[in-house]
Chains A and B, each alone.
Chain A
């Protein structure tokens, strides 16, 4: 755990961790030693030895004052470590993900990343600040007291020493029992709350279609069934809860009784006093053992966060060439490209095609056929497992990120806007663009009318993630970016399912303007985009099953032709036409 934490810090700061660790151990030992003074002081008092009492009391006071001071200093060390972790960890993760390939940024990964950077870091830094200190204390203090007992009376010491692993094993078992019960209960609860949400969401349907009573009775029965399930879980949940409270008490009773059994019949006053004086030590020894389990649970949560951090830090950036090469032209070639995501099921198999400079290739096919993976590979979101992708005869990995960004303008479906002004968001494509440039691209992208409608024009704030703009407006910003960037290659996803008909038309016109003189790969949905493409690739199950121009493919009258007919029928459908 200490070593894992040290890994998160810069090498020169890693010493902070070990320093904290050492101080905390010393502090815990001192606290144990302070408590151990109970034995000599009590023994001296019980045997009426005033000078010895005074002497031991002085010793106790010194130990107490030193241990308080050291505890404070150890806390400071822990805090310094936490402070360093707080900054370094966030910087380090930030630097690392900035270098990761675009393909890494899946919804699952970004949500883990977001949680880790906000909450996870705080959980981890609580380790040296609190959690770890508490755990070390509740382990070290009993050990010190056992050592003292061994010195005072080895029988009691040995019995106490034997009790510790037994108690530990018992707690481990109870903890596992408890976790299992919790998991079962959490599943049941999550199930119940899902049902509630479903019930709320389906209200319109349930009420309009459901005959009064039937559907709601059904739901009420489900709730009762749920409650019965949860009640059945009680016999899973309660035993660990009850056992948890019992272990410490029974251990304490056992050890106290042992000491009393040893003390009974001892006539030597000093020996008897010594034995009786160990009673409070035994109480102090057993109580922290009961807290270990609780601390360990909290630490397990933090450890899970550390796993998440490690997973992020272990993700590999795409290799960058030592000598980036600038492609000679904008021709794109895929050669025997196969690709699978982490899950292993192939998404693309043996894809080969060439898009000559200045031409348009349309990708058509049913959903899930791998269309968007092709344009992601072209933008080097990932490297394919097999085959090669080239721009102007240079393989993508040799081009280098910088050159590739200059060559390729993507217009995808998820058009993220960062908070800031509208102008900032367009200018990201070319930071030195003049206001006149912005106005020009806005006209082409159909963004001009959006700018005029906004109260502060270009200087209007778009809100976090661009939430103050509608989907259609965000898409226009993306197109304006692509216009401003004016890269020779355009990667386009035309899917506009979420937009209304007028927006779709406006965007189609804008995209048409954008396509001129560029090398284009487009996931095509608009009829004219498909019919005017220089080549159409019909994709099915990750393979190109047909290719050619619209006319050629219609002539062979296979998969593409039937897809086209359905598409055409859908676009020209009339509700009342029978």
Chain B
């Protein structure tokens, strides 16, 4: 079913491939621009030299103009580089969103849970955001930060190679100090992560638990635990960070203007004294060399962005490798609407089986109820029939054809469902009801809503059926549930799987839902499968399957089962305790 993809050795490269050309263009433009924006400093040095030789030299004006123009060109190129990078980002975002949407479209329905919704959100918001920063900003900034010192040093080497070489000294020293500082930090980082998790969880505990603790007058106790965690964290944090201050200050000072100035002035004046260089040649060094620390800062901050981008790319890539359900190459049409389960077993993973060896038949025109304690596998069984996942063993057939040989469109035309976790989408109410038949006439939509007991309520919305859900159609949980029942009325499927609604917050609303479900089930002859929580609800079902820990332990009609001294009887009695509860 799933098409296994080998893990990508370089997720970032493959994610960025579609915009690689544009990124390279942006970075190259940025390189040229970074060199050009240095020109006013360089032309100023040249002009200074000329003025010293001849204070009235008219040749300085063209040079000043040239410097200004080159700066102008540099700034323009920089703007273009930004534009190209942002356009690349825009294109990439669309490509990524579409690719994710494509994978989601063909993922098995069982994949979609609250956890995976969180993953999608993380991927779409945070991870695409991290990539945005990388694509739109980091790459060209890094290119500029590398090009600037190279160009600056290149120029200085031309002016005086000896002094320029001296000015290179702080860089290896900086790297050395920085490395040593970071060397111990990897292990400390891990420890920091643990202490941080510790303080965060005690914060959560303190904050969430405070109402309970307070109602029982035990504030002191939770408080003590919190204070202890704060103390531990502070002790670790200070113990870790304090010794780092000295090397950190040192490494910062190494590349700060003062240190570079010290080298320039001390060695420069010496070289001038020795006659190795002209006095005026000190000026370009004082002008250009002092700013070398800036690009280093840009590099270190973008290093972090790059790391975050790598992690984001790995997560996005994982999202792009969700397993996919294959459509049958030669779909077979089911004949009839009988559903047969033959020795079906299922587990989300190998050692945690949810369903064992389920064999059952659901005849057209009958109602089958599936009952059992929570966690017995009722919902999983229902979801298998909608092909949320394929069974790990055994077979499910609709009209004699195994589910995986039926085209999904045909399957879902035949099988409809009403579940408790209602999903309305942000579209008009009419569109929400008519999902199954986008071209349905308004009268049909209204008829479905009327059958679902929600028509009157919808008419009271600001724009009636054209109100958009969650914008100007604010519906309560019970009302949303009835809209989803209207959906099923309009689809009018031959096979209907439904979840008995447990109590909505309002008795009135709850009963309205119940009436709608009753109508849906009895309206015409279908194959109906109900997951029931209250046994009263389904005592008239044609067949009741009792599930216990993933196995069918009893089956039959209500009266028969009640006579059996078994699981059904126990459930029934648990729900119908003697009413002698008057004080």
Chain A interface, DSSP helix/strand/loop, else mixed: helix
| Stretch of B280-288, B390-398, B460-468 on the interface side | B280-288
B423 and A501 within 8 A (CB): no
B571-583 vs A, Cβ < 8 Å mask (1 yes, 0 no): 1001101010111
Give the CA-CA distance A279 to B67 in the complex, in Å.
15
Contact A276:B48 (CB < 8 A) given known A117-B203, A283-B290, A405-B217: yes
7 contacts between A and B (CB under 8 A): A72-B246, A91-B227, A94-B230, A201-B112, A264-B56, A265-B55, A276-B48
A212 and B121 within 8 A (CB): no
A260 and B577 within 8 A (CB): no
- Is B374 part of the contact surface with A, judged by Cβ < 8 Å? yes
A544-578 vs B, Cβ < 8 Å mask (1 yes, 0 no): 00000000000000000001001101101111111
Q: What's the A-B contact tally at a CB cutoff of 8 Å?
A: 405
- Is B223 part of the contact surface with A, judged by Cβ < 8 Å? yes
- Is B363 part of the contact surface with A, judged by Cβ < 8 Å? no
- Is B71 part of the contact surface with A, judged by Cβ < 8 Å? yes
A230 and B386 within 8 A (CB): no
A207 and B265 within 8 A (CB): no
Give the CA-CA distance A98 to B219 in the complex, in Å.
7
B507 and A567 within 8 A (CB): yes
B208 and A416 within 8 A (CB): yes
Q: Kindly provide the distance from the CB of A250 to the nearest chain B CB, expressed in whole angstroms.
A: 8
Give the CA-CA distance A42 to B388 in the complex, in Å.
79
- Is A287 part of the contact surface with B, judged by Cβ < 8 Å? yes
- Is B125 part of the contact surface with A, judged by Cβ < 8 Å? yes
Q: Write the chain A residue with the least CB distance to B514.
A: A573
Q: Kindly provide the distance from the CB of B580 to the nearest chain A CB, expressed in whole angstroms.
A: 10
Within the complex, which residue of B47, B56, B223, B435 is in contact with A94, where a contact is CB–CB below 8 Å?
A: B223
| Stretch of B5-13, B18-26, B94-102, B549-557 on the interface side | B94-102
- Chain B residues whose C-beta falls within 8 Å of the C-beta of A508 in the assembled complex: 577, 581
Q: Kindly provide the distance from the CB of A265 to the nearest chain B CB, expressed in whole angstroms.
A: 5
Give the CA-CA distance A64 to B416 in the complex, in Å.
80
Q: Write the chain B residue with the least CB distance to A563.
A: B507
A42 and B207 within 8 A (CB): no
Within the complex, which residue of B279, B412, B502, B579 is in contact with A209, where a contact is CB–CB below 8 Å?
A: B412
- Is B534 part of the contact surface with A, judged by Cβ < 8 Å? yes
Within the complex, which residue of A64, A224, A410 is in contact with B262, where a contact is CB–CB below 8 Å?
A: A64
Give the CA-CA distance A48 to B124 in the complex, in Å.
65
- Is A543 part of the contact surface with B, judged by Cβ < 8 Å? no
- Is B274 part of the contact surface with A, judged by Cβ < 8 Å? no
Give the CA-CA distance A196 to B121 in the complex, in Å.
7
Within the complex, which residue of A38, A260, A515 is in contact with B583, where a contact is CB–CB below 8 Å?
A: A515
- Chain A residues whose C-beta falls within 8 Å of the C-beta of B44 in the assembled complex: 256, 260, 279
Within the complex, which residue of A114, A515, A528 is in contact with B204, where a contact is CB–CB below 8 Å?
A: A114
- Chain A residues whose C-beta falls within 8 Å of the C-beta of B231 in the assembled complex: 87
- Is B540 part of the contact surface with A, judged by Cβ < 8 Å? yes
A276 and B101 within 8 A (CB): no
Contact A68:B574 (CB < 8 A) given known A209-B412, A220-B101, A279-B287: no
- Is A516 part of the contact surface with B, judged by Cβ < 8 Å? yes
Give the CA-CA distance A406 to B230 in the complex, in Å.
30
- Is B541 part of the contact surface with A, judged by Cβ < 8 Å? yes
New A-B pairs, 19, CB < 8 Å, besides A246-B75, A266-B51, A277-B283: A31-B258, A38-B261, A38-B265, A57-B265, A60-B265, A72-B245, A79-B245, A97-B210, A98-B210, A190-B125, A210-B435, A223-B97, A242-B75, A245-B78, A272-B55, A276-B283, A501-B533, A566-B508, A569-B511
Give the CA-CA distance A523 to B143 in the complex, in Å.
66
B40 and A256 within 8 A (CB): yes
- Chain A residues whose C-beta falls within 8 Å of the C-beta of B203 in the assembled complex: 114, 117-118
Within the complex, which residue of B207, B215, B286, B435 is in contact with A113, where a contact is CB–CB below 8 Å?
A: B207
Interface size class on chain A is: 35 or more
Q: Kindly provide the distance from the CB of A154 to the nearest chain B CB, expressed in whole angstroms.
A: 21
Give the CA-CA distance A252 to B212 in the complex, in Å.
62
- Chain A residues whose C-beta falls within 8 Å of the C-beta of B259 in the assembled complex: 64
- Is A480 part of the contact surface with B, judged by Cβ < 8 Å? no
B191-226 vs A, Cβ < 8 Å mask (1 yes, 0 no): 000000001110111111111111111110111001
Within the complex, which residue of A41, A97, A203, A419 is in contact with B104, where a contact is CB–CB below 8 Å?
A: A203
A79-97 vs B, Cβ < 8 Å mask (1 yes, 0 no): 1000100110011001101
B51 and A574 within 8 A (CB): no
- Is B234 part of the contact surface with A, judged by Cβ < 8 Å? yes
A487-508 vs B, Cβ < 8 Å mask (1 yes, 0 no): 0000000011100111101101
A575 and B121 within 8 A (CB): no
Give the CA-CA distance A29 to B68 in the complex, in Å.
32
B283-300 vs A, Cβ < 8 Å mask (1 yes, 0 no): 100110011001000000
Q: Kindly provide the distance from the CB of A266 to the nearest chain B CB, expressed in whole angstroms.
A: 6
Give the CA-CA distance A298 to B425 in the complex, in Å.
38
- Is B339 part of the contact surface with A, judged by Cβ < 8 Å? no
A197 and B121 within 8 A (CB): yes
Q: Kindly provide the distance from the CB of A161 to the nearest chain B CB, expressed in whole angstroms.
A: 21
- Chain A residues whose C-beta falls within 8 Å of the C-beta of B415 in the assembled complex: 208
Q: Kindly provide the distance from the CB of A301 to the nearest chain B CB, expressed in whole angstroms.
A: 15
A566 and B287 within 8 A (CB): no
B436 and A211 within 8 A (CB): yes
B367 and A575 within 8 A (CB): yes
- Is B177 part of the contact surface with A, judged by Cβ < 8 Å? no
Q: Write the chain B residue with the least CB distance to A515.
A: B583
| Stretch of A9-17, A231-239, A332-340 on the interface side | A231-239
Contact A428:B207 (CB < 8 A) given known A192-B97, A200-B120: no
- Is A323 part of the contact surface with B, judged by Cβ < 8 Å? no
- Chain A residues whose C-beta falls within 8 Å of the C-beta of B87 in the assembled complex: 231, 234
- Chain B residues whose C-beta falls within 8 Å of the C-beta of A41 in the assembled complex: 265, 269
Give the CA-CA distance A53 to B258 in the complex, in Å.
18
Q: Kindly provide the distance from the CB of A234 to the nearest chain B CB, expressed in whole angstroms.
A: 5
Q: Kindly provide the distance from the CB of A505 to the nearest chain B CB, expressed in whole angstroms.
A: 6
Q: Kindly provide the distance from the CB of B382 to the nearest chain A CB, expressed in whole angstroms.
A: 12
- Is B517 part of the contact surface with A, judged by Cβ < 8 Å? yes
Within the complex, which residue of A97, A220, A283 is in contact with B287, where a contact is CB–CB below 8 Å?
A: A283
Give the CA-CA distance A575 to B520 in the complex, in Å.
10
Shortest Cβ-Cβ A-B pairs, 5 listed: A405-B217, A567-B507, A280-B286, A193-B124, A367-B505
- Is B548 part of the contact surface with A, judged by Cβ < 8 Å? no
Give the CA-CA distance A71 to B87 in the complex, in Å.
43
Q: Kindly provide the distance from the CB of A217 to the nearest chain B CB, expressed in whole angstroms.
A: 10
Give the CA-CA distance A578 to B524 in the complex, in Å.
13
Contact A279:B48 (CB < 8 A) given known A253-B71, A429-B216: yes
A46 and B97 within 8 A (CB): no
A372-414 vs B, Cβ < 8 Å mask (1 yes, 0 no): 0000000100000000000000000000011001101010001
A502 and B373 within 8 A (CB): yes
Give the CA-CA distance A456 to B74 in the complex, in Å.
72
Give the CA-CA distance A185 to B230 in the complex, in Å.
38
- Chain A residues whose C-beta falls within 8 Å of the C-beta of B491 in the assembled complex: 209
Within the complex, which residue of B51, B204, B211, B511 is in contact with A264, where a contact is CB–CB below 8 Å?
A: B51
| Stretch of B160-168, B235-243, B305-313, B348-356 on the interface side | B235-243
- Is B438 part of the contact surface with A, judged by Cβ < 8 Å? yes
- Is B107 part of the contact surface with A, judged by Cβ < 8 Å? yes
Contact A574:B64 (CB < 8 A) given known A60-B265, A464-B205: no
Q: Write the chain A residue with the least CB distance to B213.
A: A428
- Is A205 part of the contact surface with B, judged by Cβ < 8 Å? yes
- Is B79 part of the contact surface with A, judged by Cβ < 8 Å? yes
- Chain B residues whose C-beta falls within 8 Å of the C-beta of A575 in the assembled complex: 367, 500, 514, 517-518, 521, 530, 532, 537-538, 540-541
Contact A502:B47 (CB < 8 A) given known A60-B262, A193-B121, A253-B40: no
Give the CA-CA distance A45 to B581 in the complex, in Å.
105
- Chain B residues whose C-beta falls within 8 Å of the C-beta of A495 in the assembled complex: 505
- Is A350 part of the contact surface with B, judged by Cβ < 8 Å? no
- Chain B residues whose C-beta falls within 8 Å of the C-beta of A204 in the assembled complex: 109, 112, 386, 388, 419, 423
B518 and A577 within 8 A (CB): yes
Q: Kindly provide the distance from the CB of A374 to the nearest chain B CB, expressed in whole angstroms.
A: 16
Within the complex, which residue of B105, B506, B530 is in contact with A366, where a contact is CB–CB below 8 Å?
A: B506
- Is A353 part of the contact surface with B, judged by Cβ < 8 Å? no
Q: Write the chain B residue with the least CB distance to A233.
A: B90
